[in-house]
């Protein structure tokens, strides 16, 4: 049986608090301004994060009851609910975020031990243990806190969470042939990661601090310099998610 993912639950709670604090710092008028995500305002990001909380509640309900409960009924419904949420009065949008976060926190903290091993399915069709739901929320809240396009950057995210995000991207890239071979080297911790399929070509070595590498692999604005070896250019990476 998989252990209760306590460290991930702590990271999720911290990321949720950081996202809510970032939203709270934005004025009502400011929520209509652009986020870092093309075509989305900050309000779209808030609506998406709130909707994601309820989608993850669906997966935990599935794990608890054994009754298949998809994250979203359809991709079209998901998109329309984000648009609807972004267009709500800002007071309602803020309240919806807090309510959805509360529902997810309750499910995460009360899921019975034996349910963490239950198999559920992500929106992309990947079958995972319910214990991965906590990580899915960690990724969601911390990355989208940066996407709000306020003062929050990956410099504000713990090095452990940043490294876990790069771990996630490195693992994902191995099954995606469109990824160029890149070796990432963290100047502030000595860790290395290989992006792309091993053995296909010599990787371009790119060095930087962990927040900058995290921003690079997630396709967000880089808060610090990256240093490709041998005078090479920093390779462009495909979209993370």
Encode pLDDT of 179-196 as tens digits.
Answer: 999 999 999 988 999 999
The pLDDT value recorded for residue 3 is: 58
Residue 198 has pLDDT above 90, yes or no: no
Beta bridge partners of 194: 183
Residues with Cβ within 8 Å of residue 55, at least 6 apart in sequence = 71, 72, 78, 123
pTM of the model: 0.94
Beta bridge partners of 127: 121
Domains for the chain: give ranges and CATH numbers: 6-152 (1.20.120.450), 157-231 (3.30.1050.20)
DSSP string, the chain: -PPP-HHHHHHHHHHHHHHHHHHHHS-TGGGGSB-SSTT-BHHHHHHHHHHHHHHHHHHHHHHHH-S---S-S-HHHHHHHHHHHHTS-HHHHHHHHHHHHHHHHHHHHHS-GGGTT-EEE-TTS-EEETTHHHHHHHHHHHHHHHHT-SS--GGGS-HHHHHHHHHHHHHHHTT-TTSPPEEEEETTT--EEEES-TTSSPPEEEEE-HHHHHHHHHTPPPSS--EEGGGPPPPPPPP--
**Mean pLDDT across the stretch 31-43?**
97
The pLDDT value recorded for residue 4 is: 76
Residue 2 has pLDDT above 70, yes or no: no
4 vs 211, residue with greater confidence: 211
Residue 22 has pLDDT above 70, yes or no: yes
Encode pLDDT of 69-99 as tens digits.
Answer: 999 988 899 999 999 999 999 999 999 999 9
The pLDDT value recorded for residue 122 is: 95
């Amino acid at each position: 049986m998989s252990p209760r993912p306590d460290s991930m639950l702590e990271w999720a709670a911290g990321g949720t608090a950081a996202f809510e604090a970032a939203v709270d710092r934005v004025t009502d008028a400011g929520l209509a301004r652009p986020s870092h995500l093309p075509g989305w305002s900050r309000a779209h990001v808030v609506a998406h994060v709130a909707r994601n909380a309820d989608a993850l509640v669906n997966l935990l309900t599935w794990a608890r009851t054994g009754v298949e409960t998809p994250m979203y009924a359809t991709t079209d419904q998901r998109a329309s609910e984000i648009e609807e949420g972004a267009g709500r009065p800002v007071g309602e949008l803020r309240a919806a975020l807090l309510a959805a976060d509360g529902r997810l926190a309750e499910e995460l903290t009360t899921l019975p031990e034996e349910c963490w091993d239950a198999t559920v399915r992500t929106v992309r069709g990947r079958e995972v243990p319910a214990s991965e739901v906590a990580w899915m929320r960690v990724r969601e809240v911390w990355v989208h806190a940066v996407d709000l396009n306020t003062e929050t950057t990956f410099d504000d995210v713990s090095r452990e969470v940043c490294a876990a995000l790069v771990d996630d991207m490195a693992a994902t890239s191995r099954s995606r042939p469109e990824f160029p071979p890149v070796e990432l080297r963290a100047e502030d911790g000595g860790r290395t990661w290989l992006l792309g399929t091993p053995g296909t070509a010599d990787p371009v070595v790119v060095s930087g601090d962990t927040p900058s590498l995290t921003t690079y692999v997630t396709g967000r604005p880089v808060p610090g310099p990256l240093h490709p070896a041998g005078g090479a250019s920093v390779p462009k990476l495909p979209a993370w998610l």
